[in-house]
Copies of this chain bind each other. A is one copy, B any other.
């Protein structure tokens, strides 16, 4: 789709605004999880929500924590989905292809920016994806925590639809253990309760319900 931009004379600003107008399309990338309003969430809303969680839960993260970087990471972490689409986190095959498709998407999207900002965006996104720094760890933890809260609130939502097991969610949520131990303990209890209520399948076949 051709997006109508009123192009400024300043070529640097023109590139920035072109990029930002493309970025708007993240509002059209639909995720599997629901909001508390009972409809599916899009990736722009999710990015806002994960950043909001980071802001109010920062005290549980690694210290010291560069919160500005965490917020920036969460604002940009899903931009590549504009081209690549959202990949359901419990779709194993999809996850294997995800990294490739997202790299390709980034190579189309990021160069819309002026070069210095393009470089900064690559760095920030790669840091998030690699998840090695305190900031990336905590940002990834918030990215995971957000849909867990919402899925519980929706009585299982996509977990029930896709027959996800407690073990699967628990493994994806492992990043919380290093990033925010107190939140990891909470999530563990939440998942136990979700299984008890039938929102999640038992821990594994032959186990769990007892």
Contacts and interface: CB of A to CB of B under 8 A. Distances in A.
Interface of A: 1, 3-6, 8, 10, 13, 16-17, 19-21, 23-28, 35-37, 41-42, 44-45, 47-49, 51-53, 55-57, 60, 67-68, 71-72, 75-76, 113, 117, 149-150, 152-155, 182-183, 186, 189-190, 193-194
For the complex of A and B, 9 pairs with smallest distance between CB atoms: A68-B68, A48-B48, A6-B190, A24-B36, A28-B37, A44-B45, A8-B186, A71-B71, A27-B35
A186 B13 contact: yes
Given A68-B67, A75-B51, A4 B56 contact: no
A44 B37 contact: no
Contacts of A52: 20, 23, 75-76
A56 B10 contact: no
Given A13-B60, A27-B45, 7 more contacts: A1-B36, A5-B149, A8-B186, A20-B53, A27-B35, A55-B72, A55-B75
Most interface-central of A3, A27, A186 (chain B CB within 10 A): A27
Secondary structure of the A side of the interface?
helix
15 contacts: A5-B152, A5-B153, A6-B152, A8-B189, A13-B60, A13-B183, A19-B56, A20-B57, A24-B36, A27-B35, A27-B49, A42-B45, A47-B48, A48-B75, A51-B71
Contacts of A45: 27, 42, 44-45, 48
A72 to B, nearest CB: 6
B153 A20 contact: no
A4 B153 contact: yes
A27 B55 CA distance: 18
Q: How many copies does the complex hold?
A: 2
B37 A49 contact: no
